[in-house]
């Protein structure tokens, strides 16, 4: 194993019945790196993450996580991983402190009270430590869930859509804490649908229907697709969108507020297809750099569902 990588896996595959959920998945993650997983619902993101940390055994493939073999040393991997699920999974009739003390007992931790007190202070939970979890807002529940994941000092943190349903301020505060953890050397894998969160990651992996389609920094993933994007403003944009799509040559038109993004992977074709529309004086057309969201939508449109 290369000591630079906390995760180093090759050719992972997973089936559930007749459905091939993950196909030939390979990944390398460095210490202190925040790795974002993008993809549509049902794409295999969560299954991939669970295989990487020993929670699921791959049908084929090999590799290591935190220096431990992915197949033979799953118990050792689990002891060094913190996993935050999509849904709040702690006890709503216990207080913040009681929840954390219970989790600490489950891990069999020594000096549990000191560890809980430290985590409560680090994540800014002191003023609410005696409040029942069930009465917390989404942002505070999120902090509590993160605290419970960090109690046993994991080296790898897995976050499965951790900010779903959380307001923008709480999301920003959450990501500030995640970057602080990464600066301390903790590696983070995060599945997200939010493009602004994806841009906060050091590396990205785009997964669709079990296949890894793109990998790299946000800038690299955008560049790999070689998309051409026009931005259009003017009257009756819904009508213009219908006309563009009816031409049969424009494959992606996406509303963004009072604008349309017209995107394609063949620059000449998209230019030719929009030439007549660009001559219409009612509309203002301008070139734009494709965004990560343009790439996300493009990759979703180009993906093929693997449902049998």
What six digits make up the tokens of 126? 């002191």
Average pLDDT over residues 213-239: 93
- Cα–Cα distance for residue pair 230/251, rounded to 1 Å: 13
Interatomic CA distance for residues 30 and 32, integer angstroms: 6
Mean pLDDT, range 38-55, rounded to an integer? 85
pLDDT average, residue stretch 79-98: 88
Apex 74 CA angle, 73 and 80, nearest 5: 100
Region 279-292: what's the mean pLDDT? Answer: 93
Q: Looking at residues 260-276, what average pLDDT do you find? A: 90
Angle at which helix 138-150 crosses helix 112-122, to 10 degrees, equals 140
pLDDT of 304 above 60: no
Q: At residue 289, does pLDDT exceed 50?
A: yes
Q: Is the pLDDT at 1 greater than 70, yes or no?
A: no
Confidence of residue 306 (pLDDT cuts 50, 70, 90): very low
Asked if pLDDT for residue 35 goes beyond 90, the answer is: yes
Give CA torsion, residues 152, 153, 158, 162, to 10 deg: 80
Instruction: Report the distance separating Cα 35 and Cα 217, nearest Å.
Output: 9
Mean pLDDT of the chain: 88
Reported as a single tens digit per residue, the pLDDT across 55-75 is 899 999 999 999 999 999 999
Question: What phi, psi does 118 have (nearest 5°)?
Answer: -65, -45
Ordered by where they begin, the domains of the chain are 32-48+74-212 (3.40.50.300), 228-289 (3.30.70)
149: closest CA among 115, 172, 197? 115
* Mean pLDDT of the 244-262 span: 86
Distance CA 158, CA 177 (A): 14
Residue 93 scores a pLDDT above 80? yes
């Amino acid at each position: 194993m290369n000591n630079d990588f906390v995760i180093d896996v090759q050719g992972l595959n997973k089936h559930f019945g007749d459905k091939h959920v993950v196909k030939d998945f390979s990944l390398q993650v460095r210490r202190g790196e925040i790795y974002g997983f993008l993809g549509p619902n049902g794409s295999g993101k969560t299954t991939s993450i669970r295989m990487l940390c020993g929670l699921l055994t791959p049908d084929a493939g090999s590799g290591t996580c935190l220096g431990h073999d992915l197949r033979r040393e799953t118990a050792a991997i689990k002891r060094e991983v913190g996993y935050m699920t999509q849904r709040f999974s702690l006890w709503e009739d216990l207080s913040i402190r009681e929840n954390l003390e219970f989790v600490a007992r489950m891990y069999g931790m020594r000096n549990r009270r000191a560890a809980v007190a430290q985590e409560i202070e680090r994540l800014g939970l002191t003023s609410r430590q005696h409040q029942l979890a069930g009465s917390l807002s989404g942002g505070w529940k999120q902090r509590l869930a993160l605290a419970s994941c960090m109690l046993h000092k994991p080296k790898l943190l897995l976050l499965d859509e951790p900010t779903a349903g959380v307001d923008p301020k709480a999301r920003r505060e959450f990501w500030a804490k995640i970057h602080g953890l990464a600066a301390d050397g903790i590696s983070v894998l995060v599945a997200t649908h939010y493009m602004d969160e994806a841009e906060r990651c050091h590396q990205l992996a785009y997964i669709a229907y079990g296949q890894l389609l793109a990998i790299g920094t946000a800038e690299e993933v955008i560049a790999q697709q070689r998309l051409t994007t026009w931005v259009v403003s003017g009257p009756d944009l819904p009508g213009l969108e219908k006309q563009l799509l009816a031409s049969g040559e424009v494959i992606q038109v996406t509303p963004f507020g009072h604008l349309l993004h017209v995107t394609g992977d063949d620059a000449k074709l998209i230019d030719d297809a929009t030439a007549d529309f660009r001559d219409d004086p009612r509309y203002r057309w301008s070139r734009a750099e494709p965004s990560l969201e343009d790439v996300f939508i493009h990759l979703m449109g180009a993906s093929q569902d693997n449902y049998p």
